């Protein structure tokens, strides 16, 4: 079954259409929700468990016609597009997250970051995302994958590593992107109100079999850039 429709009701993101002010009931929203449910029902019949009843009374387990020739992927795309324009939640206003000082060592920043996961600065930790994916946390999140060198101080990201940690632990959104050669990635996104500025934070995890390995994590204050990362299938929103 497609991951969009395989999540429980809490993880399924609601429609982007708010209720009409002054009205408790929105018929258009109800019809659209019913349409989405029917799309998901069609997709669920493409996972091999669908059994049609033959005219002779025998059960057949061949897939329905709409599942053939990538029909299930087409249906999935329809389901995704129904909620494509759903806005992000309002930025978090958590004063307990510390903006770290500048001019400390790379080890200091890694220690501060990994401490949030009860791990050593050069160790590893495993976290279960809200969607059930197992995330592997390590210094790889702040490593240049071409040179193998740390880039934790690139573009002042060292000051925001605790915001990166919070984004992993309780993200605003999780997007699933399918890439080439069956590769895929999870994009965990959050926004934070820091004084008068809004910091948008991104972490990326790549599929490594049962685990999803941390690939990068950083902050941005450019919303036009950050919103391009809201791509793929939205599988979680707080």
Greater model confidence, 55 or 140 = 140
**Buried b or exposed e, range 54-84, using 16+ CB within 10 angstroms:** eeeeeeeeebeeebeeebbeebbbebeebbe
**Rounded distance between C-alpha atoms, residue 123 and residue 203, angstroms:** 18
- pLDDT for the residue 81: 62
6 within 8 A of 40, measured Cβ to Cβ: no
175 within 8 A of 131, measured Cβ to Cβ: no
- pLDDT for the residue 26: 60
- The CA-based dihedral angle spanning residues 229, 231, 236, 238, taken in that order and rounded to the nearest 10 degrees: 50
- pLDDT tens column, 51-62: 444 444 444 456
Task: Report the relative pairing of strands 211-220 and 233-237 from DSSP bridges.
Answer: unpaired
pLDDT band at 40 (very low <50, low <70, confident <90, very high): low
pTM: 0.70
Domain ranges of the chain: 3-81, 106-237
Once rounded to an integer, what is the mean pLDDT over residues 110-117?
Answer: 97
Q: Report the percent of the chain where pLDDT is more than 70.
A: 63
- pLDDT for the residue 14: 40
| Nearest one of 133, 134, 152 to 125, comparing CA atoms | 134
**Rounded distance between C-alpha atoms, residue 157 and residue 194, angstroms:** 14
Q: Please determine, for residue 22, whether its predicted confidence score (pLDDT) is greater than 60.
A: no
| Nearest one of 177, 174, 172 to 198, comparing CA atoms | 172
**Rounded distance between C-alpha atoms, residue 170 and residue 130, angstroms:** 8
**Rounded distance between C-alpha atoms, residue 186 and residue 85, angstroms:** 19
């Amino acid at each position: 079954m497609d991951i969009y429709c395989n999540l429980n009701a809490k993880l399924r993101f609601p429609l982007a259409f708010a209720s009409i002010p002054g009205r408790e009931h929105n018929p258009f929203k109800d019809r659209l929700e019913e349409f989405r449910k029917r799309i998901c029902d069609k997709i669920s019949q493409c996972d091999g468990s669908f059994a049609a009843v033959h005219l002779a009374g025998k059960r057949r387990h061949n897939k329905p016609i709409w599942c053939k020739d990538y029909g299930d992927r087409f249906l999935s795309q329809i389901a995704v597009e129904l909620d494509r324009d759903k806005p992000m939640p309002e930025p978090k206003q958590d004063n307990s997250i510390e903006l770290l000082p500048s001019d400390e060592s790379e080890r200091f920043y890694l220690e501060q970051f990994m401490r949030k996961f009860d791990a050593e600065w050069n160790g590893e930790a495993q976290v279960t995302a809200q969607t059930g994916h197992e995330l592997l946390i390590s210094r790889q999140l702040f490593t240049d994958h071409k040179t193998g060198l740390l880039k934790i101080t690139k573009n002042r990201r060292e000051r925001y590593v605790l915001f990166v940690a919070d984004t992993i632990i309780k993200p605003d959104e999780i997007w699933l992107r399918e890439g080439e050669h069956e590769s895929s990635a999870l994009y965990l996104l959050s926004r934070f109100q820091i004084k008068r500025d809004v910091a948008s934070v991104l972490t990326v995890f790549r599929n490594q079999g049962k685990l999803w390995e941390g690939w990068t994590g950083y902050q941005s204050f450019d919303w036009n850039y950050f919103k391009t990362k809201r791509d793929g299938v939205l599988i979680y929103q707080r």
